[in-house]
Amino acid sequence: MKLAILGNGKTGSHVITLLQGRSDIQYKVFDSKSPATLEDLKGYDVVLSFLTGDVFITYIDNLIESGISVVTGSTGFEFNDYQLANINSGKAAWVRSNNFSLGMNLVRKAIELMQRAPTLFKDYKATIHEIHHTQKKDAPSGTALSWKDWLDLPCEVTSQRTGDVVGTHILNIETHTEKISLKHEALDRTIFAEGALWAIDRVLKLEPGLHDFSDIALRTMLEEE
């Protein structure tokens, strides 16, 4: 497999480290000093992006035109209707994720169970708090917004930026007499690199169109049952 990596920041560098042990993947890194052109992209099987959203959107049209598969962890943007239509009508599979932690998919199942809180409690309050490093631009994080979607209940979301925190998310459901907490803490950025490579190993086997990383992981979990 030939892999084009867009960006060599904190997470991208961990991907490169993991690739040292993968003889089945040939890769090249493109960055601001050597951006990938449309002709460059056509020479690869898969693109992996951890670019910030504002930079990634400048690549989207060329990525669609190149016709190759894309795995992206870029956040802080939304595909417009035109882009979605072109991705979903194309011949390549795209995988998008706000968080490539494989363990986050276990969290999703737990959160979906916590949706049932209204069946047990008349009065409760749900909150999500996320903490990230000071260089993270979007707030709340894409993961916190995903948690809110998975919970599907009225929920306050708050954010904190401090130090070099990789990523911490906490969901609380609180009543007058008890408090239920669910916490996911990323201890090392390698977890995102591992999850991205997991997606890369599967993207060429997926149907064309845009896929959510979490949906793929959940399907895999069910297949193993």
- Residues 150/187, Cβ–Cβ less than 8 Å: no
Q: Which two tokens stand for residue 125?
A: 């309050």
103 burial via Cβ count (<10 Å: 0-12, 13-18, 19+): middle
Residue 158 and residue 137 in one domain: yes
Q: Do 13 and 91 fall into the same domain?
A: yes
Per DSSP, 34 falls in state B
Residues 113 and 85 in one domain: no
**Do 88 and 197 reside in the same domain of the chain?**
yes
One domain, residues 52 and 113? no
90 and 142 fall within a common domain: no
Residues 201 and 164 in one domain: no
| Same-domain pairing of 205 and 181 | no
pLDDT at residue 8 in the model: 82
Task: Say which CATH number the domain at 51 has.
Answer: 3.40.50.720
Q: How far apart are CA 49 and CA 72, in angstroms?
A: 5
The parts of the chain modelled with pLDDT lower than 70 are 224-225
Backbone angles phi, psi at 144, to 5 degrees: -60, -40
| pLDDT value of position 10 | 80
Strand positions, DSSP E, 15-136: 26-30, 46-49, 69-72, 93-96, 125-132
Residues 85 and 6 both lie in one domain: yes
Same-domain pairing of 63 and 82? yes
One domain, residues 81 and 110: no
CATH of the domain at 148: 3.30.360.10
Q: Quick one: which of 49, 47, 52 has its CA closest to 77?
A: 52
Does 46 share its domain with 113?
Answer: no
**Cα dihedral 146, 147, 152, 156 sign:** negative
Q: What is the model's pLDDT at position 128?
A: 98
Length of the chain: 225
Q: How many CB atoms lie within 10 A of CB 28?
A: 13
Domain coverage including residue 81: 2-100+190-223
What pLDDT digit, counting tens, does each position of 39-81 carry?
Answer: 999 999 999 999 989 999 999 999 999 999 999 998 888 999 9
Total count of domains within the chain: 2
- Residue found by looking up tokens 């793929």 in the block: 216
